[in-house]
Amino acid sequence: MRAFNRNLGTLILGLLTIDSWVLMPAAHASEESVDQATKAALALDAKPKHRRSLYSAQCVSCHGRAGFGDRSRSIPALAGQRFAYIVRQLANFSGDERENDTMHHVVSRRDVHATQSWADIAAYVSRMPGNPAAETGDGSHLALGRGIFHEQCSSCHQADAGGDHDGLVPALKGQHYSYLVGQLHQLAADRRHNVDQDLQRFLHSFDEQEIEGVADYLSRQHALGKSHQVMRENGTVVN
Ligand code: HEC
Ligand code: HEC
């Protein structure tokens, strides 16, 4: 676990400390180019005027005007999700590091393809208030799920499940139950490729009851509030 945290920390620092970025030996070329695209997008200034219209034109039909997703189609909520995490997932979809035909098609569109668009849209949706009424599970393993989350997951995802401030660890609160269950299976089965192998093995160790319990618990954590910019000690402001 310690080695794993250190690796993750290196990646996060590497992605965020733009000037001192040193390319780590990547497992294969695509992972490397996705990391570079993420880094490039995170270094851009998001353009406020462009944000809403781009989101309305390209994303609303599935993720909804308020960014709450669609429970019946397992489409995730994006409202209040962390800026850098959203950028990284758009990079992952565009580099086929994350499997999903629908999102592959979306990120290949002319207006979405550019890293500037990723920064613009991510800045917009990360500031939308989170979903207060996500789809939940049936409540049968809630206590188990709460215990697991606070013992095994909150060290990275934070006690309020809001994700980490520097962003590569996602918020999980206000997210739909069936989407969370689906992604826990995807991560455990190594179908999200640009993810630390230790995290994949760790999530693989949970059984079905535990997965359902933790997803149910998370889906009930109300996502009031939204992500804000963070001012660092040195005075720089990050999304
Ligand atoms: C035609 C429907 C559709 C459209 C349009 C669409 N998405 Fe998605 N999006 C999905 C689906 C389905 C998923 C879940 C993918 C999966 O299961 O891995 C998803 C997943 C995502 C994720 C990953 C969220 C997470 O929690 O990891 C992000 C980020 C995202 N979409 C952003 C966008 C943006 C930005 C746009 C507009 C430029 C957009 N999507 C347009 C259907 C859509
Ligand atoms: C060491 C840090 C760490 C720990 C511990 C951890 N996670 Fe994560 N988790 C991450 C990171 C980083 C990602 C983003 C992976 C990516 O970039 O695709 C993630 C992604 C996820 C996602 C996908 C979210 C989405 O929107 O698609 C879910 C669900 C999740 N974690 C649940 C859990 C649960 C449940 C636990 C505890 C059993 C847990 N995680 C423990 C770091 C961690």
DSSP annotation string for 43-108? TSPP-HHHHHHHHHHHTHHHH-TTS--BGGGTBPP-TT--HHHHHHHHHHHHTTSB--HHHHHHHH
Q: What pLDDT score does 2 carry?
A: 42
Q: Which atom of ligand 1 is nearest to the CA of 186?
A: 18
Name the closest ligand to CA 148: 2
Q: Is the CB of 195 under 6 A from ligand 1?
A: no
DSSP string for 86-97: HHHHHHHHHTTS
pLDDT > 90: percent of the chain: 72
Over residues 147-159, the mean pLDDT reads 97
Under DSSP, is residue 219 helix (H, G, I), strand (E, B) or coil? helix
Identify whether 233 is part of a domain.
no
In a domain, 117, yes or no: yes
Does 13 fall in a domain? yes
Please identify which residue in the block is written with the tokens 């359902």: 212
Ligand 1 atom at minimal distance to the Cα of residue 89 = 29
Q: Name the residue of 54, 73, 94, 106 to mutate for ligand 1: max ligand atoms within 8 A of Cβ.
A: 106
CATH number of the domain bearing residue 73: 1.10.760.10
**In the chain, how many domains are there?**
1
User: Do 198 and 4 meet the contact criterion of CB atoms below 8 Å apart?
Assistant: yes
In a domain, 114, yes or no: yes
Probe residue for ligand 1, chosen from 60, 86, 102, 169 as the CB with the greatest number of ligand atoms within 8 Å: 102
In tens, the pLDDT along 41-91 reads 999 998 877 888 999 999 999 999 999 999 989 899 999 999 999 999 999
Q: Does 203 fall in a domain?
A: yes
pLDDT in tens, 195-204: 999 999 999 9
- The per-residue pLDDT for range 89-131, each reduced to its tens digit, is 999 999 999 999 999 999 999 999 999 999 999 999 999 999 9
Residue 163 pLDDT exceeds 60 = yes
Structural domain harbouring 68: 7-17+28-227
pLDDT digits (tens, 9 = 90+) for 29-47: 689 999 999 999 999 998 8
Whether 61 lines ligand 1, by a CB cut-off of 6 Å, is: yes
Q: For residues 84 and 80, give the distance between their C-alpha atoms in angstroms, rounded to a whole number.
A: 12
| Tokens encoding 53 | 């219209």
Average pLDDT over residues 219-233: 70
Q: Is the pTM of this model over 0.85?
A: yes
Q: Is residue 159 in some structural domain?
A: yes
Q: What's the pLDDT band for 230 if we cut at 50, 70, 90?
A: low
Q: Is the CB of 107 under 6 A from ligand 2?
A: no
| CA separation for the pair 155, 153 (Å, rounded) | 6
Q: Is the CB of 172 under 6 A from ligand 2?
A: yes
User: Does the residue 2 lie in any domain?
Assistant: no
CA 65/CA 165 separation, integer angstroms: 25
Q: Is the CB of 163 under 6 A from ligand 1?
A: no
Give nearest CA residue, ligand 1 atom 6. 59
